[in-house]
């Protein structure tokens, strides 16, 4: 089924359900009966209408509504007041272009971060690889674009050239970045070879501000030595979240413990980005889990 057909199917089904709900609601509210079942029926119809409205919002508004999150991390490894900006995003899951991806490109062209870090899950179908490479190649960063492969990249697209010759430097060892007196060391690993990350960190000079890059937050409690910053994605913030509860499902071994956002784990600042695209097995809907670009300022103190 094509994207257009999926959208039309959602619109038709949603419209039919909404119309049925509204007709039922009108009939129930006009009804003069005093039976307690009437109040229950009215409540159920109200929930149905609320669900339909939430679905419409999740498909047509929030799914492409990119949120730019600003985060500040302080360190004694930089001179006081010196700043190093990281643009972090994850889980593009490209199969076609979207407003969120277009907005991502616009923000980064305006902002010009020092480095861009992508934490994996690139495409949802093989034919989307050229589009993904073109998107990544257009994103400007002063000292480079860096990426790791996520679970879909290693299991389904291991033979696909995602990063070579332009789009990004694929991290599988230390990559040092020097900006004046600020020394940053990026260590990353593909999803199917996490030992590479631990090996990289153990060989990195501790005077450098170390950034661990991995698709999931699942290594954050076991890495030694601990990085200063750990960047991850994978959870999508649940993609569908509930008020006062959060992510419905995260596919992380920690479940909801590190579902999205910023955490402190020992000496490490962990940031779990909600991603931009959609799991291939799930509908293209986001609810209370907007697609996200994170701008992280590492500031000397």
Task: Give me the mean pLDDT over the 31-38 stretch.
Answer: 63
For residue 171, give the DSSP letter: P
- Residue 112's pLDDT is 87
Task: Write the pLDDT tens digit of every residue in 74-120.
Answer: 999 999 999 999 999 999 999 887 788 989 999 999 988 999 999 99
Q: Looking at the chain, which runs of residues are DSSP E strands?
A: 67-75, 83-89, 115-118, 145-147, 169-170, 175-179, 182-188, 209-213, 229-232, 241-242, 246-247, 261-265, 268-272, 292-300
Q: Are 103 and 132 in contact (CB under 8 A)?
A: no
pLDDT bracket for residue 21 (50, 70, 90): low
In order of 111, 269, 295, the CA distances from 114 in angstroms are 9, 19, 10
- Residue 3's pLDDT is 42
φ, ψ of residue 188 in degrees (nearest 5): -140, 165
Q: Report strand pairing: 246-247 vs 241-242.
A: antiparallel
- Residue 11's pLDDT is 45
pTM of the predicted protein model: 0.87
- Residue 150's pLDDT is 98
Task: Write the pLDDT tens digit of every residue in 229-266.
Answer: 999 999 999 999 999 999 999 999 999 999 999 999 99
User: Residue ranges of the alpha helices (H) in 31-149?
Assistant: 36-60, 99-111, 129-137
């Amino acid at each position: 089924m094509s994207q257009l057909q999926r959208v039309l199917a959602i619109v038709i089904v949603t419209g039919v359900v909404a119309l049925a709900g509204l007709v039922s609601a009108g009939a129930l509210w006009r009804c003069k009966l005093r039976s307690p079942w009437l109040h229950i029926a009215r409540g159920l119809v109200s929930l149905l209408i609320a669900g339909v409205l939430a679905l419409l919002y999740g498909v047509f508004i929030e799914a492409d509504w990119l949120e730019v999150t600003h985060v500040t991390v302080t360190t004694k490894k930089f001179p006081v007041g010196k700043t190093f900006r990281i643009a972090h995003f994850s889980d593009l899951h490209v199969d076609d272009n979207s407003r969120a991806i277009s907005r991502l490109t616009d923000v980064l062209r305006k902002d010009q971060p020092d480095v861009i870090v992508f934490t994996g899950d690139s495409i949802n179908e093989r034919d989307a690889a050229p589009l993904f490479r073109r998107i990544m190649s257009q994103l400007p960063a002063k000292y480079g674009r860096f990426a790791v492969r996520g679970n879909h990249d290693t299991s389904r697209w291991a033979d696909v050239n995602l990063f070579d010759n332009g789009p990004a430097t694929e991290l599988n060892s230390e990559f040092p970045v020097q900006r004046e007196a600020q020394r940053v060391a990026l260590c990353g690993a593909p999803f199917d070879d996490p030992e590479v990350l631990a090996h990289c960190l153990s060989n990195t000079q501790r005077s450098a501000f170390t950034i661990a890059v991995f698709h999931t937050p699942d290594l954050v409690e076991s890495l030694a030595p601990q990085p200063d910053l750990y960047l991850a994605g994978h959870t999508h913030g649940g993609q569908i979240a509930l008020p006062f509860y959060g992510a419905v499902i995260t596919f992380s071994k920690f479940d909801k413990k590190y579902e999205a956002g910023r955490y402190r784990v020992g000496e490490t600042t962990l940031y779990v980005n909600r991603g931009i695209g959609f799991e291939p097995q799930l509908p293209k809907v986001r609810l209370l889990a907007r697609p996200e670009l994170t701008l992280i300022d590492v500031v000397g103190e």
